[in-house]
Amino acid sequence: MKGRLFPLMLAALTAALCVTPASALNYTMAPPEDYLFARPTSDDTIYEPEAVNVDRSKNAALIPPGFGTPTSYLPGSGELLTPNLAPGGLSGGLVNTVGSTTSPLLMEEYPTIDSGSTWMDTTAFTEVTSALYDSGGSLGTLRIPSIGLTVKVYEGTGSTPLAKGAGHFTGTSIWDGNVCIAGHNRGVNNHFGKIHTLAAGAAITLTTKLGTRTYAVTSVDKVLETNTSGTAATSDNRITLYTCVMDQRAYRWMVQAVEV
């Protein structure tokens, strides 16, 4: 009897433990100190889309101000990396106002060109004829010593003549009057890549079968592509050079020089 009673008592004790109220197993744990909590993982930053039509090329790049200077903390402060390529960057210097071919800012720097009040009646012009071509098919040679340029000049401003050298504007004079020539500043060649840096008085020479003529730079302008006033016939002897403005398809550099 005793042998059977002990297993029954053990089973009853085990059952009693299983039905013990859960409150008997409660425990508490102290939270960690505030500094032990990690930073929240949520991101409340408000992101705004960037403007897509912003010039991020070298033309708009800035050289930041020196460390600790009064403007060092101001956004957009500093000097332009390439001021001669920035729109309006040299509006008070060598380059005239965009879209203009004259500027009062240059009246003291460049000599005044007086073509006469009746220039339309006294324009000078030399037509391109077959007799003016040399054996290589060019009309002459253009030289600008200050920028190390020597290039042959071919008739036309299409891709074929400009791939070989500079191109003469068809319909403009080749000798007397206003000789108009265009050239690339990058891509297939870079003949006119530095003409916008020419200083007042810089020498330009043009050699054709009619002789050699020397000109002095009188103006460097950034003009609209649609501005063709620089190709107009004149009574004086001058040369007008055109090239693109890098990354500004609507504009052209126009350099004019008069005979000396």
pLDDT at 38 over 80: no
Cα separations (Å) of 142 from 51, 119, 139, 164, 259?
43, 26, 10, 13, 14
Q: What is the pTM of this model?
A: 0.57
What residues contact 16, with CB distance under 8 A and at least 6 apart?
none
For the chain, the domains span: 56-86, 104-113+120-259
DSSP state of 260: -
Q: Are 188 and 221 within 8 A, CB to CB?
A: no
Tell me: the pLDDT tens digits for 92-138? Answer: 334 443 333 333 333 334 444 444 444 445 789 999 999 999 999 99
Token pair recorded at residue 239: 């040369």
The third-level CATH classification (topology) of the domain covering 104-113+120-259 is Sortase; Chain: A; (2.40.260)
- What does residue 249 show for φ and ψ, rounded to 5 degrees? -65, -20
| Alpha-carbon gap, residue 54 to 62, rounded angstroms | 14
Tell me: the pLDDT tens digits for 179-197? Answer: 999 999 988 789 999 999 9
| Alpha-carbon gap, residue 245 to 251, rounded angstroms | 6
Q: In the chain, what percentage of residues exceed pLDDT 70? A: 67
Q: Which pLDDT score is estimated for 207?
A: 98
* Strands of the chain, DSSP E: 62-63, 79-80, 140-144, 149-155, 166-168, 178-182, 203-208, 211-224, 238-245, 248-259
DSSP state of 193: T
Q: Are 256 and 217 within 8 A, CB to CB?
A: yes
Q: Which pLDDT score is estimated for 62?
A: 80
Confidence of residue 18 (pLDDT cuts 50, 70, 90): low
